[in-house]
Chain A
Amino acid sequence: MSAAPIALPGEPRVDLAEARAHGLSAEEYAAIERLLGRTPTFTELGVFSVMWSEHCSYKSSRKHLRMLPMSGPNVVGGPGENAGAIDVGDGWVAVFKIESHNHPSYVEPYQGAATGVGGILRDIFTMGARPIASMNSLKFGSFDHPRTRFLVGGVVGGIGGYGNCVGVPTVAGEVMFDAGYNGNILVNAFALGLARREDLQSARARGAGNPVLYVGSATGRDGIHGASLLASAEFDAESESKRPTVQVGDPFTEKLLIEACLEAMKTGAIVAIQDMGAAGLTSSSSEMAGRGGLGIELDLDRVPLREADLTPYEILLSESQERMLIVAERGREAELQAVFAKWDLHALVIGQVTGDGRWRTLHRGRVVADLPVGAISDDAPVYDRPARAPSAIDALAAASESAAETDAPAPAAALRALLGSPNVASKRWVYRQYDSIVRSNTMVGPGSDAAVLRIKDSRRGLALKVDSNPRACAIDPYIGAVAAVCEAARNVACAGARPAGISNCLNYGNPERPEIMWQFIRGVEGLRDAAIALGTPVISGNVSFYNETEGRAIAPTPVIAMVGTFADVRLHLKQYFKIAGDAVVVVRSAAPSYAASEYAALFGAPPRPLAPIDLGRERRLLDGLVECAERRLIRSAHDVSEGGLAVALAEACFNPAGMMGVEVDAGEGGHDGEVLFGEGASTVVISAPIENIEVIHQVFAPLEVRRIGRVTAAARLTIGAAINEDLAALKQIYETALPGRLNRP
């Protein structure tokens, strides 16, 4: 039992006004005083303001996230620990998570994206898994917007700059350009690591008296908001110090941290370990103590500082990167410190685990914060914010928000325009800037439907993809979320892998607005229903609210990262036609539609409602693809997405090993624009030896399986009489579209 903490000289007086200035509501402030039985100190107020913020506490979303399916026969761990894990066979588990870094990336795109990558990597290796792959989902504004090119260059540069330097290959991703993101881009970063099941680390503190070690970079003012700085009151600081200090990533230190932590874990001296992310030292220490039902005491004088004059408030809330917090077995500190010293990293004892359930910090011998551990984590508010569906008029408006319908272009012209549209065109300009091969596991890298990774010394493997469908979500947030899950699963199944688990990043507007809350809840419901039907539990995830500028929210954008597993990774597939003479077969679970399509966005189209998705048929499609791969029945499989069937056929011909061609017979409703360019229905284009067609029909029954043509050696794309194009010319359009737009002044 220690003395109640005291106010430090020069600190502002803590009252309701100060609490509001910190972003806390009157009710929240009252709850804090009740929990403590007194007024909090300024340092404690700062702690609550961050720990109870939306970003850290998930107060607007927690209630609804509970409905997600988080368990399953292959699930090891799950949300609650840092990232969840799934068993992928042969004693290996895959740990993975996706996270957003939207707002920092709009302000400082390079460092915002870089620190996003760094942060998610730490969530992976803190669990004892070596990170082996990254993905990202990027949403930028339209090319008309003056900031877009700058943001694209910065974000792609930052992801590459950090990812390439840290030695984790970036193997897949998605990029979209839409005016709805003009004032609010999205940068969602995903990472996956592999561990032997018995090597998974805990983030749950144990053993009163065990020492707490601080590892990694020194602490600076990164992420601290200038307004709350004690220093700005005490010193006549330069005006710069009032601006928030941008978090700068150091991928070199992160690489050292990865190696050192994995080596340190092998000693067995680590009881618990957590990365310092949002609210750095505060969240990591309180969460580790909280999970273990214990307390923790930290001596802030022992924390290595980048600048000597940091206040306790700043030390506790700093978001300096590349730092970890470790609870060690008492007596084995030196053992751990030797490992970190080998890698030239700080590893200092800064406190200890206690048995009193308090979170207590000391500075210059005085207690500056003394709180019940639960108060800042478990007892954070959980809100059930009001949700209200939009009126019928608003819904109709959303549904018909496509381009004004012009005269429908001729199919060939439409195909060329779609291939040249940035949302469809090759993203090679982007992924060529990422190292996709380091660690020697990449069997299929960026450019095909899903990335495929092998697991050395095993037949097993993984397929990865990240997908979203904000256009569909804008019309119907439930169906759009279901569609995103189905598409991600389909891409993984097209590679021949069985979809196994999801990490989701839910990007929405301001949850204090009932219509946004409604969008969110419907999105979570869609995610739930699809995840259950497809057998893909939600392993981990992240919520990003307040994505809006001047009251205009982004379209609801749930982003789904899907991981699939192979029993035998040698049976993986790519999206490209390979053998002339193969039959080209289309498998569909529903009829294609102009709704929410790229075609409609470019040319306008007759209005269409978004059709509900039959999850039973979706499951059939996935199971069929996996069976075809495992039985070696098909040569290639490609998911139909933006641009529809005609675009998918062209993409399937763009085989990097040698361009193929395709002849599609007339009479497939083949000249109908909606059949050629419609989206919204789960459709896969398969190539297979002719003799397997009969079996393929059986495998996919009762879905529609239609043979539409054949693969040819001559590099032409013909669809009946409507389309007869030279594929080299189409490929030229496809490859130059994005660099062309980016380089235009």
Chain B
Amino acid sequence: MKWGVVRFPGSLDDADALHALGEVLGQDAAMLWHKDEVLGGAECIVLPGGFSYGDYLRCGAIARFSPIMRSVARFAAEGGLVIGICNGFQILCEAHLLPGALMRNRSLAFVCDFVTVRVENAATPFTRAARAGEILRLPIKHGEGCYVAPEEELRAMEERGQVLLRYVDESGAASDAANPNGSMRSIAGVANQGFNVFGLMPHPEHAVEMALGGEDGRRIFASIIAGAASAAPRVSG
């Protein structure tokens, strides 16, 4: 399946996403420059981790105005798959392609560590290869990962199953101790109402090789690949 990884000035895990998809998972993955307006026929767009524009002003606030984001928004509106990882999640929120916002970690410190997340909804293009309730071990590395949204909105999102991943401890229970950044309701990843746009703070692209610490990230990519195999190719601009 064809993937496009968008590179903004300051993107850092773009090379890692390309490596994970292209080299490790054998996908047809290409880098898309932020000034491009075309998505190269990609069936899934990846907005990677990093510090686009230095995270200056607000994380993702400047990147959302890059020329390519117009195409990404259109692609998403037409039902195309978009996954935003870490900084990518921040960009999707700033661009209003996902609800809510990411704020500074409660501890005010940057955290790089492995965490455990629970799959809350396995009936989406991004999680279909996992079981509901499955625990995944994924790395996080961020200083602004505290997910917030108005209480009303959060309630509605939970009801609709838009919360896809939640921080839990190793036994599968959500708690303050298991929440690395203070996110409301320990939310680690959410989808839009159409379930074609997904944002998550953990880095699945850094968990695809045992040699580097774990392979649970493959679940998410495998979900997307499985879906594309059975879907008609999308026309993207």
Q: Is the CB of B111 within 8 A of A437?
A: no
Q: Which of B12, B53, B113 has the most chain A CB within a 10 Å cutoff?
A: B12
How far is it, in angstroms, between the C-alpha of A230 and the C-alpha of B57 when the chains are bound? 35
**B-contact bits for A304-334, CB 8 A (1 contact / 0 none):** 0000000000000000000000000000000
Q: Is the CB of B211 within 8 A of A438?
A: no
**A-contact bits for B1-29, CB 8 A (1 contact / 0 none):** 00000000110110110011001000000
Q: Is the CB of B212 within 8 A of A165?
A: no
**A-contact bits for B175-215, CB 8 A (1 contact / 0 none):** 00000000000000000000000000001011001011100
**B-contact bits for A431-448, CB 8 A (1 contact / 0 none):** 111111111101100000
How far is it, in angstroms, between the C-alpha of A595 and the C-alpha of B54 when the chains are bound? 48
Q: Is the CB of A165 within 8 A of B54?
A: yes
Q: Is the CB of A252 within 8 A of B211?
A: no
Contact of A438 among B13, B53, B54, B213 (CB under 8 A): B13
How many of A's residues come within 8 Å of B, CB to CB? 28
How far is it, in angstroms, between the C-alpha of A102 and the C-alpha of B9 when the chains are bound? 31
Question: Does residue B51 face the partner (Cβ distance < 8 Å to A)?
Answer: yes
Q: Is the CB of A252 within 8 A of B9?
A: yes
Residues from chain A with Cβ under 8 Å of B16 in the complex: 438-440
Which residues 241-263 of A sit at the B interface, judged by CB distance below 8 A?
250-253, 255-256
Q: Is the CB of B12 within 8 A of A167?
A: yes
Q: Is the CB of B51 within 8 A of A437?
A: no
Min C-beta distance of A640 to chain B, whole Å: 26
How far is it, in angstroms, between the C-alpha of A434 and the C-alpha of B109 when the chains are bound? 10
How far is it, in angstroms, between the C-alpha of A253 and the C-alpha of B9 when the chains are bound? 9
Q: Given contacts A440-B19, A440-B212, A442-B212, is CB(A252)–CB(B54) below 8 Å?
A: yes
Q: Which residue of chain B is the closest to A431 with respect to CB atoms?
A: B112
Q: Is the CB of B53 within 8 A of A252?
A: yes
Q: Is the CB of B9 within 8 A of A437?
A: no
Contact of B206 among A343, A431, A437 (CB under 8 A): A437
Contact of B109 among A167, A433, A439, A456 (CB under 8 A): A433
Min C-beta distance of B56 to chain A, whole Å: 7
Residues from chain B with Cβ under 8 Å of A160 in the complex: 110
Question: Does residue A164 face the partner (Cβ distance < 8 Å to B)?
Answer: yes
Q: Is the CB of B10 within 8 A of A454?
A: no
How many of B's residues come within 8 Å of A, CB to CB? 30
How far is it, in angstroms, between the C-alpha of A250 and the C-alpha of B55 when the chains are bound? 11
Min C-beta distance of B28 to chain A, whole Å: 19
Residues from chain B with Cβ under 8 Å of A250 in the complex: 54
How far is it, in angstroms, between the C-alpha of A501 and the C-alpha of B23 when the chains are bound? 31
Q: Given contacts A164-B51, A437-B141, A439-B15, is CB(A256)–CB(B9) below 8 Å?
A: yes
How far is it, in angstroms, between the C-alpha of A476 and the C-alpha of B206 when the chains are bound? 46
How far is it, in angstroms, between the C-alpha of A438 and the C-alpha of B56 when the chains are bound? 20
Q: Which residue of chain A is the closest to B207 with respect to CB atoms?
A: A437
Q: Is the CB of B211 within 8 A of A454?
A: yes
Q: Which of A164, A253, A256, A439 has the most chain B CB within a 10 Å cutoff?
A: A164
Which residues 21-44 of B sit at the A interface, judged by CB distance below 8 A?
23
Residues from chain A with Cβ under 8 Å of B60 in the complex: none
Q: Given contacts A252-B56, A456-B19, is CB(A436)–CB(B10) below 8 Å?
A: no
Min C-beta distance of B19 to chain A, whole Å: 6
Contact of B10 among A255, A431, A433, A438 (CB under 8 A): A255
**B-contact bits for A455-479, CB 8 A (1 contact / 0 none):** 0100000000000000000000000
Q: Which of A165, A255, A437 has the most chain B CB within a 10 Å cutoff?
A: A437
Q: Is the CB of A165 within 8 A of B141?
A: no
How far is it, in angstroms, between the C-alpha of A161 and the C-alpha of B51 when the chains are bound? 11
Which residues 276-315 of A sit at the B interface, judged by CB distance below 8 A?
none
Residues from chain B with Cβ under 8 Å of A443 in the complex: 211-212
Q: Which residue of chain B is the closest to A130 with respect to CB atoms?
A: B15
Q: Is the CB of A164 within 8 A of B10?
A: no
Min C-beta distance of B37 to chain A, whole Å: 16
Q: Is the CB of B54 within 8 A of A433?
A: no
Residues from chain B with Cβ under 8 Å of A165 in the complex: 10, 51, 54-55
Residues from chain B with Cβ under 8 Å of A512 in the complex: none
Q: Which residue of chain B is the closest to A169 with respect to CB atoms?
A: B112
Question: Does residue B88 face the partner (Cβ distance < 8 Å to A)?
Answer: no
Residues from chain B with Cβ under 8 Å of A726 in the complex: none
Q: Which residue of chain A is the closest to B51 with respect to CB atoms?
A: A165
Min C-beta distance of B196 to chain A, whole Å: 27
Min C-beta distance of A115 to chain B, whole Å: 15
Q: Given contacts A164-B110, A433-B111, A435-B141, is CB(A440)–CB(B54) below 8 Å?
A: no
Min C-beta distance of A448 to chain B, whole Å: 13
Question: Does residue B125 face the partner (Cβ distance < 8 Å to A)?
Answer: no
Question: Does residue B80 face the partner (Cβ distance < 8 Å to A)?
Answer: no
Question: Does residue B139 face the partner (Cβ distance < 8 Å to A)?
Answer: yes
How far is it, in angstroms, between the C-alpha of A248 and the C-alpha of B183 when the chains are bound? 31
Q: Is the CB of A438 within 8 A of B141?
A: yes
How far is it, in angstroms, between the C-alpha of A432 and the C-alpha of B113 when the chains are bound? 7
Min C-beta distance of A361 to chain B, whole Å: 32
Question: Does residue B145 face the partner (Cβ distance < 8 Å to A)?
Answer: no
Q: Which of B13, B50, B56, B112 has the most chain A CB within a 10 Å cutoff?
A: B112
Q: Given contacts A250-B54, A251-B54, A252-B51, is CB(A438)–CB(B212) below 8 Å?
A: no
Min C-beta distance of A646 to chain B, whole Å: 28
Min C-beta distance of B180 to chain A, whole Å: 10
**B-contact bits for A413-452, CB 8 A (1 contact / 0 none):** 0000000000000000001111111111011000000000
Q: Is the CB of A343 within 8 A of B112?
A: no
Residues from chain A with Cβ under 8 Å of B19 in the complex: 440, 456
How far is it, in angstroms, between the C-alpha of A161 and the C-alpha of B9 when the chains are bound? 17
How far is it, in angstroms, between the C-alpha of A553 and the C-alpha of B195 when the chains are bound? 64
**A-contact bits for B129-145, CB 8 A (1 contact / 0 none):** 00000000001010100
Question: Does residue A344 face the partner (Cβ distance < 8 Å to B)?
Answer: yes
Residues from chain B with Cβ under 8 Å of A164 in the complex: 51, 110, 112, 141, 143
Residues from chain B with Cβ under 8 Å of A251 in the complex: 51, 54
Min C-beta distance of B204 to chain A, whole Å: 12
How far is it, in angstroms, between the C-alpha of A64 and the C-alpha of B12 when the chains are bound? 42
Q: Which residue of chain B is the closest to A165 with respect to CB atoms?
A: B51
Q: Is the CB of B112 within 8 A of A433?
A: yes
How far is it, in angstroms, between the C-alpha of A238 and the C-alpha of B50 when the chains are bound? 39
Min C-beta distance of B143 to chain A, whole Å: 8
Q: Given contacts A438-B13, A454-B211, is CB(A167)–CB(B112) below 8 Å?
A: no
How far is it, in angstroms, between the C-alpha of A440 and the C-alpha of B16 when the chains are bound? 6
How far is it, in angstroms, between the C-alpha of A434 and the C-alpha of B139 when the chains are bound? 13
Q: Chain B: residues with CB nearer than 8 A to chain A?
A: 9-10, 12-13, 15-16, 19-20, 23, 50-51, 53-56, 109-113, 139, 141, 143, 203, 205-206, 209, 211-213
Task: Given A437-B213, A438-B16, A440-B209, output 18 extra A-B contacts at Cβ < 8 Å.
Answer: A164-B112, A165-B54, A165-B55, A167-B50, A250-B54, A252-B10, A252-B54, A253-B54, A255-B9, A344-B9, A432-B109, A433-B112, A435-B112, A437-B203, A440-B16, A440-B205, A440-B206, A442-B212
Interface pairs (16), CB distance under 8 Å: A164-B51, A165-B51, A250-B54, A252-B9, A252-B54, A252-B56, A255-B10, A255-B12, A344-B9, A432-B112, A432-B113, A433-B109, A434-B110, A437-B112, A437-B141, A442-B212
Q: Which 5 A-B residue pairs are closest in the complex by CB-CB distance?
A: A252-B54, A167-B12, A165-B51, A440-B16, A435-B141
